[in-house]
Every structure is written in C-alpha cells, then in structure tokens.
C-alpha cells in the first residue's frame, strides 16, 4: 500500500495534528533538555575547578614550589580546557534557548500533512521526505511474493495507520 492509500481521503484536523506534533516533540525535547542541563552543570563545575587549579599553580610558582616551565605548561593546558568548556557551554545555552522556532516547525508539519494527503502520485522527493528505509525479504522458493516493509519518517516511529488515527477527526 502506498502513502495515498494509507492516508486516503481523510480530513486533517489541524488542531489535533498540531497538539500531537507538540506532544511528541516535547517528549523528545524533554529528554534532550535534561541531558543538556546536566552537561551544562558539569561543565560549569569544571570551569570553577579549572579556575582554582590555575590559581593554585600560580600560587605554587610564587612560593617557589613549582618551576616556571611546569607552571606555564599547566596553565596553558588548563586554559585550553577552559576555552573548550566555555565554547560547549555557549552551545548548550543556545540550544536550550532555541524554542522560538517551534511554531514555524508546526506550520511546516501541518503543510506537509496536507500536501501528502492530497498527493496524486508518489514522487521521488516525497519518498525521500517520508520513507526512512525499505526492507525486502528473501525470495521464497515457491514463487510467492516477497515481504516488503516500508519504514516511514514519522515523529515516533509509529505505523502510518496508527499515525493516521492521531491526526484525523
């Protein structure tokens, strides 16, 4: 069965489709957000620790307990690590604050649903946008048809039929 026969002549309930999209996106986003926040805390703690290590190395040098070359080497190493951590922190903060584009994504999602529901024929572009991959079973010995499974790029890996129930009236 192709995509059009699966979707059929359904009327897409935009409100329901939008709610579904946001709900599924929130599930995925929540896991990523928690992971990013944990990583942000760890990096912030490491920055504090690096500042203390740099200060400690300098104090040991001033006291004469640490040769200049060792102090310089340690400080350079700590500074490089600190700069890398600061870059990662900036990326994580940006990622955590990127929630403004959700509305645009929802509109794009609704537009695609409408376009695919009204398709007259399946194009290469649609296949690339909708199909994750296809598996073709081994050829049976008794000339029966091969098993073919199509895996679609939907939000949560559902079958197209289950997905159809979620977005229609």
Answer yes or no: is pLDDT of 25 > 70: no
Answer yes or no: is pLDDT of 3 > 60: no
Cα 56 to Cα 96: distance, rounded to the nearest angstrom: 33
8 Å CB contact between 154 and 163: yes
Burial level of 34, CB count in 10 A (0-12/13-18/19+)? Answer: exposed
Cα 24 to Cα 90: distance, rounded to the nearest angstrom: 27
Answer yes or no: is pLDDT of 55 > 80: yes
List of residues 6+ apart from 54 with CB closer than 8 A:
74, 75, 78, 79, 82
pLDDT tens per residue across span 116-164 = 777 777 788 888 877 777 888 888 888 888 888 777 665 444 445 555 5
Burial level of 7, CB count in 10 A (0-12/13-18/19+)? Answer: buried
What pLDDT is recorded for position 63? 92
Please state, for a pLDDT cut of 70, what percent of the chain lies above it.
67
What pLDDT is recorded for position 11? 58
Please state, for a pLDDT cut of 90, what percent of the chain lies above it.
30
């Amino acid at each position: 069965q192709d995509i059009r026969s699966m979707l059929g002549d359904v009327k897409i309930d935009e409100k329901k489709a939008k709610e579904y999209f946001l709900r599924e996106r929130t599930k995925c986003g929540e896991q990523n957000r928690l992971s990013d926040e944990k990583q942000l805390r760890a990096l912030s703690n490491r920055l504090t620790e690096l500042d203390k290590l740099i200060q400690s190395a300098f104090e040991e040098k001033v006291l004469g307990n640490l040769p200049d070359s060792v102090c310089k080497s340690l400080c350079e190493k700590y500074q490089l690590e600190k700069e890398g951590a600061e870059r990662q922190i900036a990326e994580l903060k940006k990622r955590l604050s990127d929630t403004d584009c959700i509305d645009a994504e929802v509109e794009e999602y609704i537009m695609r649903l409408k376009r695919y529901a009204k398709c007259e024929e399946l194009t290469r572009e649609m296949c690339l946008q909708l199909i994750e991959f296809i598996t073709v079973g081994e050829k049976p010995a008794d000339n029966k048809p091969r098993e073919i499974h199509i895996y679609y790029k939907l939000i949560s890996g559902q079958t197209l039929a289950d997905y159809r129930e979620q977005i229609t009236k």
